[in-house]
Structure 1
Amino acid sequence: MRNKQQPLFLIVFLSILFVYSGTHAEVRLPRLISDGMVMQRDTKVNVWGWAAANEKVTVRFHDKVYTAEADAKGNWSVTLPAIKAGGPYTMRVEASNVIEIKNILIGDVWVCSGQSNMALPMERVKERYAEVIATAENPAIRHFFIATQYDFKNPFEDIPSGNWMSATPESVLKFSATAYFYARSLYEKYKVPIGLINASVGGSPAEAWLSADALKKFPEHLKEAERFKRDALVDSIQTTERSISRTWYNNIYKNDKGYQEQKKWYDSTYRDAHWPVMNIPGYWHDQGLKDLNGVVWFRKEFTVPATMVDKSVKLYLGCIVDSDSVYVNGKMVGTTGYRYPPRRYTIPEQVLKPGKNVIVIRVINNAGKGGFVEDKAYQITNGTETVDLRGAWKYQVGTVAQPLAPTTFMQYKPGGLFNAMISPLLRFPIKGVIWYQGESNTARADSYYAIFSTLIGDWRNHWRQGNFPFLYVQLSNYAPIALSESGWPALRDAQLKTLSVPNTGMAVTIDIGEWNDLHPLNKEDVGKRLALAAQHIAYGDKRVVYSGPIYQSKEIKGGKVVLYFTNTGSGLISKNNEPLKYFEVAGADRKFAQAQVKITGNTITVWSEQVKNPVVVRYAWMDNPQGANLYNKQGLPASPFMSE
């Protein structure tokens, strides 16, 4: 009889246990509220999370106790009063379980968003800033990185991963470089802890960061957002494109003569006497291999000083379009799968030898012009001695293929990044936002002002903190030096117009870009210029000169145009006392001619003998106005502009 009753007893016991567990779920906190976090000073702060329905939650912080009761869905929150900068503190959250959050600082929290130039970590600029990294020991500067995620259906309540990291020589390599230099500048001046929430995605257009409400202003983008709510569509696209890509790469591997011949082309003993010669760096399209997609192999013999033999040394190969595998004396020393990262490889000990050495590079180009980006370092170095690898290389085509069809980047579709990466932050009070984006919108520059100004208002509406400071970076100079009517100058102009939005500031970077790199290395000046804008706009320092000259208005006088500026500081100057460059003037026909220019105090007068009745003036209106030299005496460059 007892044995027959035992299963029934177990069933009843397990049922009770199930009910008990379901109604006494452990209290949980969002990822942001975790060890090492920075909370915003001088404002009420939300602490929230999830528990069992109707469960009582107690929060102990800063010698005070706060209580809440979870609602029917398990949501709970408490509000802490405004606290001055300081710490470290500990917080205890108690319910059916206890969570202790340690090492909390109170300071200023900045959301750092945009595309790759904001995402770009200190690791990518470590050679340029080796000393900065070595001395980056500052527990008051903290960084929270949010991995790329997107959703087209619903705003997320939380982020699936991430943690707060204090700045150390090791951890700072993962910090956004722009954001770190920004934080360092602010901390040096105000000695207030700085928290950086890095929610940025390489290549992302501005519309991906708009909420569903904001997208209603842009029917084309709203239609696209609605389209990608269909899981079947997303799955179909991804499955198809993965299959196409896999087939393409399998075919080039299968057909690549460099791998298929009995002696592989990366073998150091392979005989390449019959191979033609090409100059590196450069693109093979410009050296005889026009419109070739597929695989091209490159080989070069070199000798090294005796001090490099049997030592670990560094190999720098600039940037390569699109991907590469590199062999030295038959040993693979590195590979990179896409075009933008700098090629920085280590040649291990025992690889280099006295006398002749051979380096082989297998380059895959899937579309467009393949090859080696010019004006970059191509060398082997031990820190004191260098072997230059530029010049003549042997080359041979491994295989030719049709261009690989472009991939659909789902994370770039409208609204997806807002839902997954911004929505989970909205209950966390912040000081403001720094934004570095625009490159991905240059093809649609005419709509950027509307989208960007809407984005600023959208984020402010959702955060419910009023017009918090929104500081952004104007596009740098980029591409070969030439007059241009591309989207770059027009997008810079849209960014300039966005200064009409209250409580915004813009860091002009027209002088610190690189013609051959979308990701210029000088992130220190970017961060410092953003910090100058913050000093004025976010911290109320009205004496600081926080920007270079900004065009304000014009006056036409007797065939000449007088230009007026704000942010002139101590006065307008021509950098290095050279004649001012890149000023152009046009009449009603908008045919621009190079202008003569004269600085008089805080005004500039421009004219041209070719334009008798001037109407419009523009400055630095091109992709790369390298050497544009209108500054104020504080050393800050003027923004490009077009008068109307």
Structure 2
Amino acid sequence: MAGRHWVLCCLVLYNVAGYGSSTLKFASYFGDHMVLQQGAQGAVVWGTASRLGDKVQLYLNGHKIGDEVETFNSSGVVTWMGKVTVTGSNYGPYNIMAKSSEGTITLHDVMFGDVWLCSGQSNMEYNMGGLTNYSAEYTEASNYSNIRIFNTMHAQSNVELSDLSAAPRIPWSIPPGHLGGFSAICYLFGKRLSAQFKYPIGLIESNWGGTRIEWWSSATALSKCPVHGKRAIHNSDLWNAMMFPLTRATIYGAIWYQGESNAGLYDLYTCQFPAMIDDWRRTFSTNSLHTTSQEFPFGFVQLAPFRDGADSMNFPSLRWAQTAGYGTVPNVKMPNTFMSVALDLPDFKSPYGSIHPRFKHDVAARLALSALGVAYHQSGLEFQGPFPSQYRLTGHLLTIEYDQGRVPISVNTNTSNFEVCCSATKCDRNVGNWKPAPMTAHHISTVTLDTSQCGQVAVSAVRYAWQESPCEFKHCAVYGRDTELPGPPFYHSFH
């Protein structure tokens, strides 16, 4: 009997979302229980019809919303678009109705709040069911009914699609419904925001394990980073099928966990990642009638450890590339971005493989804290780990000052992640005469390193945590004293 009820429920939902027999339809992104973006800019509602030039009127709880909108041709599809605006603290629930000469369709239990898009590869796809405390999360989810979740189906296309090509893997749902199959990072991030703001949070999951950044980038974005030879395969199939159909949606921001599949091409990623972010922002803003900001906040997870003791330079170099070579964000090439540093969260015994650490709570907590500082502009908040601001070489001692001395640091004295390169010329980040540089002293915001291993050879550069798996669990060398956030890896040349 329970199974029969589930089928009837979903058939009704798909009819509302555009999978029924009515010729007037909402796009497949829409459904009962969804969250639309709050704010004076309005949120776009769109769908399809069969009659070009027909008029569609939107209603909010039975009241007309603006003027009728006219259907138009969009790449051969008869399409309609309108805006719904809700401001203030009346977040819902609402019924939204669209009416034309072809009939009437209705969305039920629609809330207004902030909508976040979650994308990337397998560590973003890693679902709640894989958490060690999933049973507790499932039970607690009933306290977070303001969170609504949606997950696209895997799909590929060689052209940009105007709508998702298949019914969603998870239609708009209220946890704990479908919670076990939903992204852990995405949900836990949204849970932090919900606890902070007490208003609805809509979470859109669109990701695919093992995928490269090229597949999530449009042809326009890829053209910004020309490839010489055959170093990379440029293919926008996932952008076309799983991201472009969502670009009419009004969103607050996006979070991203990807890079493992591009680790061998880190120099190219330095260009590709900022180019993809810029292109997403431009396209979402344009296609949503500018209801999505052209500078919407974009957060990401810096790669976690992988193999114990591996000496590959691919992961540390990709971490550097994720910041466009600045080491920290936001920066000139990546404005309005925020980051969760995860290099101190190894899980070598993970049953899902060491590349899939189970410590998603820590990752999401750090990401949400950064979002409060960057995306929500909360002042006076220390939301990132210590980062060097000044280097002083005196004899065989190198003193590194963090954050202009304004933020106290905490140091693990029995761990040294620092190395110096001994050379009269500029050192490559990955190749050179690199030697360990143990700490000899530390103060409120500085560490001092012993560079005597270079002897009479000059110290050309310094790097920190430049290993695939640089430290034991939460035991790297430098953290914020008050925040317990790890300092990100860095490289600095004195030439």
TM-score of the pair, normalised by structure 1? 0.63
Instruction: Work out whether residues 313 and 466 of structure 2, in 8 Å CA contact, stay in contact via their aligned partners in 1.
Output: no
Equivalent in the alignment of 2:27: 30
Matched, 1:55 2:63: no
Equivalent in the alignment of 1:596: 438
Within a 5 Å distance, the mapping from 1:68-467 to structure 2 comes to 68-71=69-72, 74-81=78-85, 83-85=87-89, 86-95=91-100, 96-125=102-131, 127-137=132-142, 138-162=144-168, 163-168=171-176, 170-220=177-227, 414-464=235-285, 465-467=293-295
Letter in 1 for 2:435: A
Q: Distance in 2 between matches of 1:567 and 1:33?
A: 48
1:487 pairs, out of 302, 307, 314, with 314
Instruction: Work out whether residues 57 and 64 of structure 2, in 8 Å CA contact, stay in contact via their aligned partners in 1.
Output: no
Q: Distance in 2 between matches of 1:549 and 1:205?
A: 30
Judged with a 3 Å threshold, the aligned counterparts in structure 2 of structure 1 residues 65 and 221 are, in CA distance, closer, same or farther, namely farther
Judged with a 3 Å threshold, the aligned counterparts in structure 2 of structure 1 residues 221 and 460 are, in CA distance, closer, same or farther, namely farther
Q: Distance in 2 between matches of 1:207 and 1:587?
A: 37
1:636 pairs, out of 476, 485, 494, with 485
Instruction: Work out whether residues 28 and 163 of structure 2, in 8 Å CA contact, stay in contact via their aligned partners in 1.
Output: no
Instruction: Work out whether residues 208 and 414 of structure 1, in 8 Å CA contact, stay in contact via their aligned partners in 2.
Output: yes
Letter in 2 for 1:46: V
Q: Distance in 2 between matches of 1:580 and 1:625?
A: 10
Q: Distance in 2 between matches of 1:190 and 1:429?
A: 19
CA RMSD of aligned residues (A): 2.3
Instruction: Work out whether residues 389 and 404 of structure 2, in 8 Å CA contact, stay in contact via their aligned partners in 1.
Output: no
Letter in 2 for 1:563: I
Equivalent in the alignment of 1:610: 453
1:65 Cα offset (Å): 2.8
Equivalent in the alignment of 2:372: 535
Instruction: Work out whether residues 561 and 614 of structure 1, in 8 Å CA contact, stay in contact via their aligned partners in 2.
Output: no
Q: Distance in 2 between matches of 1:223 and 1:61?
A: 53
Unaligned runs of 5+ in 1: 1-23, 226-411
1:588 Cα offset (Å): 2.3
Equivalent in the alignment of 2:288: none
Instruction: Work out whether residues 580 and 630 of structure 1, in 8 Å CA contact, stay in contact via their aligned partners in 2.
Output: no
Matched, 1:477 2:305: yes
Q: Distance in 1 between matches of 2:184 and 2:347?
A: 17
Q: Distance in 2 between matches of 1:154 and 1:171?
A: 29
Q: Distance in 2 between matches of 1:530 and 1:630?
A: 19
Q: Distance in 2 between matches of 1:568 and 1:415?
A: 45
Matched, 1:548 2:385: yes
Judged with a 3 Å threshold, the aligned counterparts in structure 2 of structure 1 residues 476 and 449 are, in CA distance, closer, same or farther, namely same
TM-score of the pair, normalised by structure 2? 0.82
Q: Distance in 2 between matches of 1:623 and 1:117?
A: 16
Which SS does the other structure have where 1:526 is aligned? helix
Equivalent in the alignment of 1:12: none
Equivalent in the alignment of 2:397: 560
Q: Distance in 2 between matches of 1:615 and 1:538?
A: 37
Instruction: Work out whether residues 474 and 508 of structure 1, in 8 Å CA contact, stay in contact via their aligned partners in 2.
Output: yes
Equivalent in the alignment of 2:361: 524
Letter in 1 for 2:148: R
Letter in 2 for 1:214: A
Instruction: Work out whether residues 154 and 208 of structure 2, in 8 Å CA contact, stay in contact via their aligned partners in 1.
Output: yes
Unaligned runs of 5+ in 2: 1-20, 286-292, 425-431
Instruction: State the structure with more CA Rg.
Output: 1
1:569 Cα offset (Å): 7.4
Q: Distance in 1 between matches of 2:166 and 2:405?
A: 47
Instruction: Work out whether residues 37 and 252 of structure 2, in 8 Å CA contact, stay in contact via their aligned partners in 1.
Output: yes
Letter in 2 for 1:587: C
Letter in 2 for 1:130: S
Q: What is the number of residues matched between the two proteins?
A: 430
1:222 Cα offset (Å): 12
Letter in 2 for 1:79: K
Judged with a 3 Å threshold, the aligned counterparts in structure 2 of structure 1 residues 508 and 560 are, in CA distance, closer, same or farther, namely same
Judged with a 3 Å threshold, the aligned counterparts in structure 2 of structure 1 residues 216 and 413 are, in CA distance, closer, same or farther, namely closer
Q: CA deviation digits over 1:87-108, x for unaligned, max 9? A: 1111111112111100101001
1:481 Cα offset (Å): 2.1
Instruction: Work out whether residues 53 and 70 of structure 1, in 8 Å CA contact, stay in contact via their aligned partners in 2.
Output: yes
Judged with a 3 Å threshold, the aligned counterparts in structure 2 of structure 1 residues 160 and 443 are, in CA distance, closer, same or farther, namely same
Q: Distance in 2 between matches of 1:616 and 1:47?
A: 54
Letter in 1 for 2:139: A
Instruction: Work out whether residues 481 and 515 of structure 1, in 8 Å CA contact, stay in contact via their aligned partners in 2.
Output: no
Equivalent in the alignment of 2:44: 46
